[in-house]
């Protein structure tokens, strides 16, 4: 998830004439535009190779393996999943501690394995059936925005739990997830992502890992 929904929401709420198409087509087009905007890293670089090795190790631990494609990129985006099966991961993950790199990649694999793209598309389709027009979008914009945000948060919690469990299968159950979150930086809630404190609390509540217990993050 992330800022990739900005174009889509602007399209839905403003509903310009050129945006009169099926909502799933709008979703796909917005994701394709975001995908094409990600500059690819040098495929032969040591950093890209390091990211791919970590990704391959995680993928081998998954049974059954999901249909997924990894693209190592440059630029401001750290990692995200697009089109439900394409994971873009920044080459700078290679410069981070292995625990952070593995968690970030596992989190994105969680979005793929749990088919979060499909659930999101179905939600939008429920609220905007047929062509995307002002008559369709204006009456439901607020409700759709709230429900889409709630679903996005739910999916982030689920992807965190998936990542923690996947790392346990690799014998990394003693890893300190608090250190991972500290390295990534403490964040507050956004429309698409719960804040760090809520993410840690969710992991703790699901009893995914004991390493987050006894912590008291000072920010949301």
pLDDT at residue 12, rounded to an integer: 52
Beta bridge partners of 69: 86
Q: How many C-beta atoms lie closer than 10 Å to residue 120's C-beta?
A: 19
pLDDT at residue 198, rounded to an integer: 95
Structure tokens belonging to residue 111: 């979005």
36-66 per-position pLDDT tens digit: 999 999 999 999 999 999 999 999 999 899 9
Nearest to 120 by CA among 60, 183, 188, 31: 31
Structure tokens belonging to residue 37: 């905007």
What pTM was computed for the model? 0.87
160-188 per-position pLDDT tens digit: 999 999 998 888 765 567 788 889 999 99
The whole-number average pLDDT for the span 116-139 is 93
Q: Following DSSP, what letter does each residue of 80-144 receive, concatenated?
A: EEETTTEEEEEGGGGGS-HHHHHHHHHHHHHHHHTTHHHHHHHHHHHHS-SB--HHHHGGGHHHH
pLDDT at residue 8, rounded to an integer: 54
Give percent above pLDDT 70 in the chain.
83
């Amino acid at each position: 998830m992330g800022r990739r929904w900005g174009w889509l929401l602007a399209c839905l709420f403003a509903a310009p004439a050129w945006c009169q198409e099926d909502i799933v087509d709008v979703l796909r087009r917005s994701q394709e535009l975001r995908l094409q905007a990600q500059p690819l890293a040098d495929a032969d670089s040591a950093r890209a190779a390091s990211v791919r090795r970590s990704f391959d190790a995680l993928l081998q631990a998954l049974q059954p393996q999901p249909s997924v494609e990894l693209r190592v990129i440059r630029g401001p985006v750290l990692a995200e999943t697009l089109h439900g099966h394409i994971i873009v991961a920044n080459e700078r993950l290679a410069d981070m501690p292995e625990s952070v790199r593995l968690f970030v990649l596992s989190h994105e694999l969680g979005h793929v394995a749990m088919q979060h793209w499909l659930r999101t598309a179905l939600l939008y389709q429920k609220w905007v059936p047929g062509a995307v027009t002002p008559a369709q979008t204006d009456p439901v914009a607020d409700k759709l925005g709230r429900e889409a945000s709630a679903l996005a948060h739910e999916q982030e919690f689920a992807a965190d739990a998936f990542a923690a469990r996947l790392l346990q299968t690799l014998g990394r159950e003693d890893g300190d997830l608090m250190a991972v979150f500290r390295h990534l930086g403490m964040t507050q809630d956004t429309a698409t992502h719960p804040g760090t404190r809520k993410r840690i609390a969710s992991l703790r509540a699901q009893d995914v890992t004991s390493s987050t217990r006894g912590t008291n993050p000072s920010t949301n």
